[in-house]
Amino acid sequence: MSEIRVGLVGYGVAGAYFHAPLIHATPGLSLAAVVTRNAERQAEVGARYGAAGVSEVEELWGRCDLVVVASPNRTHVSLAAAAIDRGLPVVVDKPLARTAEEGRGLVRLAKERGVMLTVFQNRRWDGDFLTVRRLAGEGALGEVRRFESRFERWRPLPKGGWRETGGPEEVGGLLYDLGSHLVDQAVQLLGPVREVYCESDVRREGVAADDDTFVALTHADGVRSHLWVSSVAARLGPRFRVLGSEAAYVKYGLDVQEERLRAGVSPDAPGFGEDEEARWGVLGTDDEHRVVRTEAGAYLDFYRGVVAALRDGAAPPVDPESVVEALSVIEAARSSADRRIVVRLP
C-alpha cells in the first residue's frame, strides 16, 4: 500500500491532541476519516487534516486501511473487535481492556484473523523514561533496587466527565488512566511482577472513581516499584526517583511532548521532544552527582513502528501481550485495594 488510510474513532483529548497530529506527521499515514458527532469537530478535522468527519463507526469501515480506537474506555474492546472482524488492523488507546481476559480475547481474535493489533502505550517513548532505561542498561545506577514513579496533579475541583464520575462500567479512575502508563513502564523496565499491594481512594466530592492511588509492586527478581497517581497532590513529588546500589537518578517535571501537542506544535517540528535544560535530572549521590541530559522523547516512533509493521511485516511497536501482562497487575491492584491484602501473581 502506498499510503495507509487511517480511520480514527474519537476526537476528544486522546484523538485531538495525540493521535490525529501524530498520524498526520507520520510518513506513510493519511488521516482519512474521524468519528465524532460534534459538528464543530467534524469541521475541524476537515480543515486541519483534510479528513472526513463522520458521525457513526459504520461510516468508517470502507474509508480506511487502519483503525485507531481513541473513544471512551468502555468501548475499546467492542470497537477493536468490530474492526478486527472486518480484517482491519487496529491501534487501541490505553487501557486496552478492563480485564486481562478481555485483552487476551482481542489478542486471540487478531491472531485468528491475521491482522495487527497494538496498543498506544506512548509513554514508553517519554524522554525521561528513555533516560531511565539507558542509565539502567549502562549500569550507571549499579543494581536497581527501587523504582519510584509518579503522575501527580493538584486539581482539587473535579473537571467532570466519565473518567471521574462514571462507575466501574466506564473503566474510569486514575488507576486505569495514568496508572496504565506507570504499571506498563515498571514492567517494561524491571520485568514480571509477583506481588501487588494497592491503596486507592476517592478524595473529592462528586467523584466516583479513584483519584488518589498508590501501588507497590515486587518484581520477580526482588526489585520494588512504588507508583503514585493523584489529582490531589498539593506539592508534586519527583517524576522519577530510581535508587540503585551505586547511584540514584531523580527527575522532576513531565515529559514535554504532551504539553507541546496541546499547544499545537507539530510532532515533526525540530526539537519537539527535547527537554529544557532546567528540567534535566540528576544522577549520583548526595556527595557526588551530575546533571544528565534527558533523552529526546519520541512519540512519533510509535506510529513509525505501525507503518513498519503494516508495510514490512515488522513486529508491532507495542506487543499487545505485554499490555495484557500489565492489565493483570492493574486488576491485582484493584483487588488489593478492595480487599486490603497483598495479591500474589503466578
Sheet with 248-251, side-by-side order of all strands: 289-292, 281-284, 248-251, 240-244, 144-152, 224-230, 212-219, 193-201, 343-344
pLDDT band at 319 (very low <50, low <70, confident <90, very high): very high
| Mean pLDDT along residues 41-62 | 96
pLDDT at position 1 is: 56
Q: Please tell me the chain's helix, strand, coil percentages from 3-state DSSP, rounded to the nearest 5.
A: 40, 25, 35
Residue 213 predicted with pLDDT over 70: yes
Alpha carbon of 26 to those of 3, 197, 299: distances in Å?
11, 40, 10
| Structural contact between residues 265 and 231, judged by C-beta atoms closer than 8 angstroms | no
The x, y and z cell numbers of residue 96, run together, are: 486496552
Pick one of 3.30.70.920, 2.30.130.30, 3.40.50.10490, 3.40.50.720 as the CATH number of 4-121+302-312. Answer: 3.40.50.720
**140-167 per-position pLDDT tens digit:** 999 999 999 999 999 999 998 999 988 7
Under CATH, what is the fold of the domain 123-298+328-344? Dihydrodipicolinate Reductase; domain 2 (3.30.360)
Residues 285-313: tens digit of each pLDDT: 999 999 999 999 999 999 999 999 999 99
Domain span(s) for CATH 3.40.50.720 in the chain: 4-121+302-312
**pLDDT score recorded for residue 160:** 87
pLDDT at 167 (0 to 100): 75
Average pLDDT of the chain, as a whole number = 97
Beta bridge partners of 144: 244
Determine if the peptide bond prior to 72 is cis (ω within 30°).
Answer: no
* Dist CA 242 CA 134 (whole Å): 12
Q: Which segments of the chain belong to CATH 3.30.360.10?
A: 123-298+328-344
Question: Is the pLDDT at 218 greater than 90, yes or no?
Answer: yes
